[in-house]
Amino acid sequence: MRRPGPSGVGRGMAETEPDEPDDEAAERLAALSLPSQLIVAVAVAAVAVAAALHLGMAFLSVAPPNTISKRHGAAMDDYTYPEFERNWKLFAPNPLQQDIAIQARAEIRTPDGGLATTGWTNISAQDGAAIHHNPLPSHTQQNELRRAWEFYLGSHDAQERPNGTRGSLSEHYIRRIVMLRLGPETDGGTVQRVQVRSATTQLAAPPWSDEKTDTKTYYRTLPWWTTTAADLPEGARR
């Protein structure tokens, strides 16, 4: 059939039907005998299992040490080396395997003029409670305290001495966070000094693992810091 052009003259281009889905492959598979279909299904399943096994071995070979790699490390090395060797790590640094809680206490001036020391307040637990069952937790609740502690660790040595100009800044940052959480007055007194410590507990190995883990809590206690007006929120400064 020819379509007439604007002047009624045929253009000479045949009208084509729209393309239909190509079911040729499905028809060929259906045309196979039952034994042939079983062979194809088994071959597809074998390829899928082999691909999953290869990806699993490759993943474990570059992942940080874990229970599976420690138990089956020899078999993984026999499969991976030398054809599938990788010299890079999937995670940097290793995934966190510790529970680190930041705690703080204060030295307060009581109404009678004396000094008293409060108990330790688990600031990390406060953030955890705010996040729990909250579908949209704030960035502050999730990361502020954690990043502040990482900032401090990266700018101080094991004797709590700053190793650069950022050391005093990290201390001031943590003091401000602590004062925001405790407030300028707590336990009936005015805060004079604060002290911060971390409580680190290694996560226990799963029940099915024979790995031995020291789950004792270790503390890193920082020196007492005298608070100033700069450590208080704007509205609480006098």
- Output b/e per residue, 169-197; b: 16+ Cβ within 10 A: ebbebbbbbbbeebebebeebebebbbbe
Domain identity same for 58 and 136? no
How confident is the model over 197-207, as a mean pLDDT? 91
pTM, 2 dp: 0.62
How far, in Å, are 27, 29, 119, 169 from residue 104 at the CA level? Answer: 72, 70, 8, 18
Q: Is residue 91 part of a domain?
A: no
Answer whether residue 9 shows pLDDT above 70: no
Residue 1 belongs to some domain of the structure:
no
* Predicted local confidence at residue 12, as pLDDT: 46
Under the banding of pLDDT at 50, 70 and 90, the label for residue 34 is confident
Mean pLDDT in residue range 44-50: 94
Place of tokens 């099915």: 208
Q: How far is Cα 57 from Cα 7, in angstroms, rounded to an integer?
A: 71
Q: How far is CA 231 from the centre of its chain?
A: 30
Range with the poorest average pLDDT among 10-14, 19-23, 39-43, 82-86? 10-14
Q: Spell out the long-range contacts of 209-216 with Cβ–Cβ below 8 A and sequence spacing 24 or more.
A: 209/67, 211/67, 211/70
Residue 152: per-residue pLDDT = 95
Nearest to 151 by CA among 177, 171, 131, 134: 171
Segments forming the whole domain that contains residue 105: 98-236
Among 23, 27, 29, residue whose Cα is nearest residue 44: 29
Q: Are residues 50 and 110 in the same domain?
A: no
Measured between alpha carbons, how far is 169 from 41 in angstroms, rounded to an integer?
64
Residue 60 and residue 143 in one domain:
no
Q: For strands 121-122 and 98-109, give the pairing.
A: antiparallel
149 & 104 share domain: yes
Q: pLDDT: is 72 or 234 the higher one? A: 72
Q: Is residue 7 part of a domain?
A: no
* Backbone dihedral angles phi then psi of residue 155, each to the nearest 5 degrees: -120, 10
Q: Please, are residues 193 and 227 in contact by the beta-carbon 8 Å criterion? A: yes
Q: How long is the chain?
A: 238
Query: Is the confidence at residue 4, as pLDDT, over 70?
Result: no
* Over residues 28-35, mean pLDDT: 77
* 199 and 230 share one domain: yes
> Of the residues 20, 47, 80, which one is the last residue of a structural domain?
80
Structural domain contains residue 3: no
Identify the pLDDT of residue 85.
65
In a domain, 51, yes or no: yes
Q: Domain for residue 169, yes or no?
A: yes
Question: Are 76 and 164 members of one domain?
Answer: no
Query: Based on the domain organization, do 47 and 144 belong to the same domain?
Result: no
Q: With a cut of 60, say whether residue 236 has pLDDT above it.
A: no
Number of domains the chain is built from: 2
Q: Specify whether 162 is located in the same domain as 54.
A: no
Residue 4 pairs in a beta bridge with: 10
Q: Which helix (H) or strand (E) holds 60?
A: helix 34-62
**Given a cut of 50, is residue 7 above it in pLDDT?**
no
pLDDT at 14 over 80: no
Is the residue at 5 inside a domain? no
Q: What is the mean pLDDT of residues 212-224?
A: 93
Residues 126 and 70 in one domain: no
Q: In this model, does residue 13 exceed pLDDT 50? A: no
Residue 164 pLDDT grade (very low, low, confident, very high; cuts 50, 70, 90): confident
Q: Based on the fold, state whether residues 67 and 152 are members of the same structural domain.
A: no
The answer to whether residues 38 and 126 belong to one domain is: no
In this structure, the answer to whether residues 123 and 228 fall within a common structural domain is yes
Whole-number average pLDDT of the chain: 83
